[in-house]
Each structure stands twice: as structure tokens, then as C-alpha cells.
Chains A and B, each alone.
Chain A
Amino acid sequence: MPIDPVLKLTDLQRRYAGRLVVDVPGLEIRGGELLAIVGPSGSGKSTLLRLLGGLETPDQGRIFYRDRPTVPPLPLAIRRETTMVFQHPRLLSRSVSDNVGIGLRLRGIGRDAAKTRIDAMLKQVGLEALAEAPAQRLSGGEKQRVALARALVFEPTVLLLDEPTANLDPHNVSLIEDLISRERRQRPLTIVLVTHNVFQARRLADRCALLLGGRLVEVSDTESFFQSPADARVTAFVRGEMVY
């Protein structure tokens, strides 16, 4: 497994209306790892992920993609192999399979080849019965699965996931978690997973990070993050004792 950083950020700051929302002096995301970022609501998890995905411009600091400094909007070549699943996905007012296939169409992949991949992906997220349904009428959890499917179908090498199972029931949570694990086994895939669910972080992540008020409190291997964290706030957070 390659461990050179796929993504690296230095001295990163992002403000909204003067308020510092993300303030991270440094972070490296290693090739092939799954890094989970946990933290309370409003701690800046989504903002940090958008910064990593080049969808937002930092007020200060840099983001390196495989050691190349980048500025949004990122070059197409990078955007074609990095993708993000948003916390609140927006789908096109078209069928579910059209939505899942959008990344393939954008990459100029032919209809027949695309259809095979779309159908396989729909099956993986348990939506094959809804293939022709209008995407706008789906439930929240179904939309979220479409959003994950439309990202995985073009086989990105870097995947930024923002609460991908927030609206799902336990059955679908494990379906998605299994899917993520399977994808990681099958091909080189680097994942940053934002979740409020510490159990999910523990189940899936190689390393975990706690974000509080835009600052990274601790980044460590999942095992030590849960068993022997250096920072007392991590203990409080993973035990659900943190009041925020």
C-alpha cells in the first residue's frame, strides 16, 4: 500500500464573515488509507472536506495534490479522479440511472459500456428496482445512495465522503459500509470520511481525526484514537460525554 501523501495541506485557514471556521496547520492523507474526520455539528468538517476537494478557496495556506500545489478550480485531470459525495446531494431531474451515469457521460463513456456499469452499481446500493424512477421523488436515504453510486461508478482514486450514511437505516448503513470496504479491497482508493458516527469511524477507518471549532485536536491510528487518545477531549467525544 502506497503511503506517500495523496493530499497534503499546510497552514490552512478558512473564514466566513471574519469568523475562523477551519484552522489546520498541517494534515497528510496517505495513499490508500481511510481517514475518518469526526466532530460535533458546526465544527467545520464539511468546510474542510470542500477545501480538500478544491471546491472552496482557502483564505490562507495551501493544498497539495500528490505534492503539486493546487488552487481551485482544480485542473480537470485531478477532478476526473477525485470526487466528493456531498452531505446534501443534489440530483438531476432525470431517472435514477441517468443520475448514476452522469460521471460516465461527462467522461465520454459510451452508452452501452455505461449501462453495464450503472446497472452493476445500482445493484450494489440496492436500488436496481428504482432504476427508471424519477430521482427527485426518492426518499432522503435513497438519494444518498444514488449520490454514492454516481461517485463510485467512475472509479475515482480519491473519494471524499461527507456523512454518506446520515439518512440511512441500519440495514443500508451496513450495505454502504460493506460497499466502501469492498471497493477499497478491489483497487487503490484513498478516502476521507466525514461522519458524526464514531462507531462508523471505528469500523471503517485506518486513522481518525477529531475536529473541534475548526481545529484538529488529534489525528491518530483508529486503535489508539479509541483506546488511548492523547487528548482528553477525544475520550469525551468518543464516549459521547462531550456536551457541545
Chain B
Amino acid sequence: MARLSSSQPQPNPPVELIGERADLNDEPSGTLGRALIEALQLLASGDRALLDILGLTLEVSLAALLIAAVIGLPLGATLGLTNRLPLRGLVRAVLYTGMGLPPVVVGLFVYLLLSRAGPFGELDWLFTVRAMVAAQTILALPLVVGLTWAAVESVDPELRPQLLALGATRGQIAATILREARAGVLAAIAAAFGAAVSEVGAVMLVGGNIEGQTRVLTTAIVLETRRGRFALACALGLVLLLVSFVINLALLRAGERRTPAHAD
């Protein structure tokens, strides 16, 4: 049976050997089929290493998402509600560029900041979970801000004076409009989580893919692919998709639930 845990070095465990040979000869669909079975086996067996990797993946990406949301939602809402923003076009161009930042470049940037000689070298965060969270936050933040901005902006501007006339404070107006834009805001959160959980370049560079410490699903997939354990790599890929799907489902459920009142 497929195993990720390698308590003892097993250079060529029989299962994988067969797997490798088959990979060279089989149709890709054969690999995918086996991957599905392996993924289920891995999950069902409660493989310790897999659970650790899964847990860390969620921990890093959800922490990055939380930080990005706490900063990005108010910022995006403010931008969307500001009528006269100086250099609006430029700000937006910068932000939209940020939405497509290459993870590996962000990784390199964070690496340089956190390395011994860098300005934040003192923190000693390099090759830790914190460095990974920092890198993914940088990737997620522009998505939260940019898409929240666009969502808030798309709400009918005439709603604002009408809320004002109904006796809303500035904060209540912002909260109400944010809620009117909830579908777009939810998309912002989902896109940001997707970007964080799926990237590999940044966490690889700043986390180092250390087994049991900084290895997440994406970096594990890279490693297993390099080792030629294609079915296992595919299985991990499926687990990643599954995780992403479940999180998005939860997000949508949370968004559709009727909340009693405004955040006031």
C-alpha cells in the first residue's frame, strides 16, 4: 500500500517500483486511476505523514487567508467607497499586477527579507511556518483587496445617499454595502485561498520543504514527482483538490447563511 511516511529509508519499496514501471509504459489515465485508489487508500489508512502535511497545508493557507482578509476586506471596501481617489488608475494597475504575482518571485523576495543578512533576519523565520504564512499572505492580499474593491464598486452608488437618509452611520453604510456585495466578496476570499493553497514556489523557497516541519501538499507533490512516485504525487494532488473543494463549499455555505443584522 502507498505510504508517505518514511521512518526507515526504503529506496525502492515494491509497490512504488511497480508503479514507476507502469508509469513509463501506461496511458496517463492508468496513472490517474491508480492515483485515485491510492488517494483513497492514503486517506483511509490515516497515514500519519499525510495527515501532518494536510494539517500544515491548512494551517499555513488559512492563517494567510485570515490575515489577508482582516487587512484586505476593510481596505478593499474603503477603496470601493472612496469617490475621489488620487491616482485611482495607477493604484488599480498596481493592485491587479499584485493579483498575478509569480509565487516564486514572492518567495525570493521574502527569502531575501528573512535571510540572515536581510532586514528581518533577526526574526529567524526562514524555513519556518511563519515565513510560509508571510509569503502566502503577500500572495493573497492583493486578491482580497482588488476583488473586494471591484465588488463594492459594482454596488449601485445611489444606495449610499438612501442609506444615509435612513439614518446610517458611515460604518453602517460600509457594512451594508459590503453585505450587498457579498457574492463578490466571497469570490475574493475563495480566489485568495485558492492562490495560497495551490502555490508551490514561495513555500518551497522560504519553507524549505522540510519533512515534518514545513512540507505542505504542493511541495510534497513536487518531491514525489521528482522521486518518480507519480501515482502518489497524483494522489496528493487529488487530496489538494478535495481540500480546496471542501473549504470553498464551507465558504459558500457561510456566505449564504442569513446573518441576523449588520455589523454595527
Contacts and interface: CB of A to CB of B under 8 A. Distances in A.
Contacts of B262: 105-106
B137 interface: no
Given A88-B158, A90-B158, A92-B180, A106 B167 contact: yes
B167 A79 contact: yes
A48 interface: no
Interface residues on B, range: 20 to 34
Contacts of A111: 260-261
A108 interface: yes
B169 A76 contact: yes
Given A92-B180, A106-B264, A108-B264, A86 B165 contact: yes
Contacts of B172: 106
Contacts of B176: 92, 102
Interface string B110-150: 00000000000000000000000000000000000000000
A207 interface: no
Interface in A69-120: 73, 76, 79-80, 82-84, 86, 88-90, 92-93, 102-103, 105-108, 111
B161 interface: yes
Contacts, number: 56
A55 interface: yes
In this complex, the member of A88, A89, A90 whose beta carbon has the largest number of chain B beta carbons within 10 angstroms is A90
30 contacts: A53-B165, A55-B161, A55-B164, A55-B165, A76-B167, A79-B165, A79-B167, A80-B167, A82-B165, A83-B166, A84-B165, A86-B158, A88-B158, A89-B162, A90-B158, A92-B176, A92-B179, A92-B180, A93-B180, A102-B166, A102-B176, A103-B166, A105-B261, A105-B262, A106-B166, A106-B169, A108-B264, A111-B260, A111-B261, A150-B166
Interface of A: 50, 53, 55, 73, 76, 79-80, 82-84, 86, 88-90, 92-93, 102-103, 105-108, 111, 150-151, 154
